[in-house]
Amino acid sequence: METPNAIEAANVSFGYDGDLTLKNVSFNAGQGEMIALIGPNGSGKTTLLKLLLALLQPSCGTIALFNLPLSSYAPKERAKQIAYVSQQPALSFPLTAFELVALGRYPYASRLGLSANDKTTIEEALERTHAKHLSARHFSTLSGGEQQKILIARALAQSAKVVLLDEPTLHLDLRYQLQILAALKGLCTQKRTTVIIVLHDINLVSMFADKALLLRASKLCAFGPVKEVVTEENIKDLLAVDIKAMADPETGVRYFVPRVPS
């Protein structure tokens, strides 16, 4: 069944100092979909996320958020619609984990402080990221993986309808990677949140994403359902690696095994 679009990008290009880092990229993200951005380093994935956040403005083309131009949203209203987790290392915030996650409620801030609904939302975000036990800990005392979970929880606390994540599992061990991606998938299915996520692990894409957007050399190579787009042939071509696709006999999920170069 077709889902209403949360984001529509049409012929979007962007360049630094005259060199295009994205060229004529078009795609749409439906409500409740998880879309994985895949591509080699330098292919334009982070640039695309920054364009979707309105941190950068397209050189040409248009981006719409819920059928309105992205540029028409005031910053505070845009923050109610889109949350973001970057790939940059976290700074040493002089806050507890709970206080840091509470910053996600800034778009709804009241002079009276956190409301009961704010506190409930913060607790739920911590629970979804399996980080509630870290609430009272100072952020600077947490491990890199624990800090990443708190930063993801802060994004979830915004209650945004679109969540953008740039390699959010980078500092997480395998168990935490699966927990976080399952939590994000739960947002898609339960709250109709749209998740656009940069992932380098093709197997995680195959397990969790609904659609994939393949970028190489600043251009869109393919976009569509994961089963149609994330294929052995496409991944070999995209990442320039010899890889073998295999289906899990129990779940039918397709996994990819890289081969050692000769």
pLDDT in tens, 19-69: 888 999 999 999 999 999 999 998 999 999 999 999 999 999 999 999 999
Q: Is 192 left (phi over 0), alpha (psi -120 to 50) or beta?
A: left
Q: What are phi and psi of 29, to 5 degrees?
A: -120, 115
Residues ≥6 apart with Cβ < 8 Å to 85: 151, 152, 155, 163, 164, 165, 166, 168
**Higher pLDDT, residue 251 or 225:** 225
Query: How is residue 20 written in tokens?
Result: 């295009």
Element (H, E) at 104: none
DSSP 8-state class, residue 138: B
Q: Residue 260, Cα to own-chain centre: how many angstroms?
A: 30
What's the pLDDT at 39?
95
Q: How far apart are CA 105 and CA 118, in angstroms?
A: 7
Q: What is the pLDDT of residue 149?
A: 92
Report the pLDDT value the prediction gives residue 178, as an integer from 0 to 100.
94
**What does residue 109 show for φ and ψ, rounded to 5 degrees?**
-60, 145
> What's 171-232 look like in SS3?
CCCHHHHHHHHHHHHHHHHHHCCEEEEECCCHHHHHHHCCEEEEEECCEEEEEEEHHHHCCH
Residue 3 has pLDDT above 70, yes or no: no
Residue 90 predicted with pLDDT over 70: no
Q: Tokens 């095994």 belong to which residue?
A: 257
* Domains of the chain, earliest start first: 5-258 (3.40.50.300)
Nearest-CA neighbor of 149 among 163, 169, 164, 175?
A: 169
How many Å apart are CA 212 and CA 13, to the nearest integer?
19
Q: How do residues 112-167 score in pLDDT, each as one tens digit?
A: 788 999 999 999 999 999 999 999 999 999 988 899 899 999 999 999 999 999 99
Tell me, what's the pLDDT at 2? Answer: 59
58's enclosing H/E stretch is: none
Residue-averaged pLDDT of the chain: 92
Amino acid (one-letter) located at 34 = M
